[in-house]
């Protein structure tokens, strides 16, 4: 029963007035017979928190909490047939609208310590699920708000979809910058990002085949962890076809892990230190994902 009490505390944090206004606008309670939109929302949230495997589990679970239902804002536990029917027939846009309403409200309440940049616009994180070959699975590619650590976009694919392939369908903002690990060292994907006015900073693979076009002079007062700053182009036939433009390559020393990190970017004007600090920032957010790889999206001023 303590779990139900905890669940009711979570439900109490939801803005009922905002939900009611969306329900009124979309008329999702019109002609309803007891199973309101709010009861539907609570039922599906219960499904997630209780890890229910079926509509029967949802119905029986809520029935077992009869004395606590009033704390959840519902009158009686729904039957499994009612849940099934409304899952099929109620307008799902209601829950989408409420999600984004909550995102705008709760995102302002987060107090997360993040790396500070000279950044005007929103920053986002992009993560993906693991997949094991001996199990069936889906992957959830998630774009997260960097400031609030809350999901801004989710792309669900089958478990066999490669991480970089799932990134093609995630919408990105023009004049933003994507910071990614080797998983996204996909030249066709980088070309798509570049063609859509998206900057990227990506850790490249050790076997990258390139030619140095120009070496950028490292200033005397540079940050000493910056080892190389140069303009390159791919020499491999396939790589050059997939990404025909020139790129910038920056190598930095990671003193904590005692290794050299090599990055490629289509941003040619920011300082090499800004490039390195952007990449280092993604390490911090991995705590949120229990040390899984991430990608950060951010809008930066060109003066950075």
Residue 289 has what DSSP assignment? T
pLDDT band at 293 (very low <50, low <70, confident <90, very high): very low
- pLDDT for the residue numbered 295: 46
| Mean pLDDT of the 242-256 span | 93
Among residues 236, 229, 235, the alpha carbon closest in space to that of 263 is found at 229
Cβ-Cβ contacts under 8 Å for 150 (sequence gap 6 or more): 103, 106, 107, 110, 144
Higher pLDDT, 295 or 182: 182
Which helix H or strand E contains 4, and what residues bound it?
Answer: helix 2-12
> Which runs of E-coded beta strand occur in 63-163?
123-127, 138-145, 150-158
pLDDT band at 117 (very low <50, low <70, confident <90, very high): low
**% of residues, the chain, pLDDT over 90:** 35
pLDDT digits (tens, 9 = 90+) for 122-141: 455 555 445 555 555 667 66
Q: Work out whether strand 138-145 and strand 226-234 pair parallel, antiparallel, or are unpaired.
A: unpaired
- pLDDT for the residue numbered 73: 85
- Among left, alpha and beta (phi > 0; psi -120 to 50; other), residue 107 is alpha
SS3 211: strand
Give the predicted TM-score (pTM) of the model: 0.58
Higher pLDDT, 77 or 224: 77
Give the up-direction half-sphere exposure of residue 15: CA atoms within 13 A in the CB hemisphere.
17
SS3 229: strand
Write down the mean pLDDT value for the chain.
Answer: 79
**Phi, psi (5° rounding) for residue 280?**
-60, -30
pLDDT digits (tens, 9 = 90+) for 189-201: 999 999 999 999 9
Tokens 């029986």 belong to residue: 60
SS3 187: helix
Among residues 192, 146, 138, the alpha carbon closest in space to that of 169 is found at 192
pLDDT band at 299 (very low <50, low <70, confident <90, very high): very low
């Amino acid at each position: 029963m303590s779990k139900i009490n905890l669940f009711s505390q979570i439900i109490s944090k939801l803005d009922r007035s905002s939900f009611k206004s969306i329900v009124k606008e979309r008329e999702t309670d019109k002609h309803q017979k007891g199973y309101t939109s709010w009861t539907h929302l609570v039922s599906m949230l219960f499904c997630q928190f209780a890890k229910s495997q079926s509509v029967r589990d949802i119905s029986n679970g809520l029935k077992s909490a009869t004395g606590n239902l009033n704390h959840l804002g519902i009158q009686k536990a729904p039957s499994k047939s009612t849940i099934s029917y409304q899952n099929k027939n109620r307008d799902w846009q209601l829950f989408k609208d409420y999600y984004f309403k909550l995102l705008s409200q709760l995102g302002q309440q987060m107090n997360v310590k993040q790396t500070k940049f000279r950044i005007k616009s929103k920053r986002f994180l992009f993560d993906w699920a693991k997949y094991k070959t001996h199990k069936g699975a889906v992957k959830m590619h998630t774009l997260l708000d960097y400031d609030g650590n809350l999901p801004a976009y989710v792309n669900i694919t089958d478990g066999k979809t490669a991480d970089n392939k799932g990134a093609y369908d995630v919408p990105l903002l023009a004049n933003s910058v994507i910071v990614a690990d080797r998983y996204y060292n996909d030249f066709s994907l980088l070309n798509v990002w570049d063609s859509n006015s998206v900057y990227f900073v990506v850790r490249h693979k050790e076997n990258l085949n390139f030619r140095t076009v120009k070496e950028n002079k490292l200033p005397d007062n540079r940050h000493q962890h910056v080892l190389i700053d140069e303009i390159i182009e791919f020499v491999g036939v396939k790589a050059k076809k997939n990404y025909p433009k020139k790129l910038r390559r920056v190598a930095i020393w990671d003193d904590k892990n005692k290794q050299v990190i090599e990055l490629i970017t289509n941003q040619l004007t920011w300082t090499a230190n800004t490039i390195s600090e952007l990449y280092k920032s993604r390490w911090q957010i991995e705590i949120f994902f229990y040390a899984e790889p991430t990608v950060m999206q951010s809008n930066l001023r060109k003066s950075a």
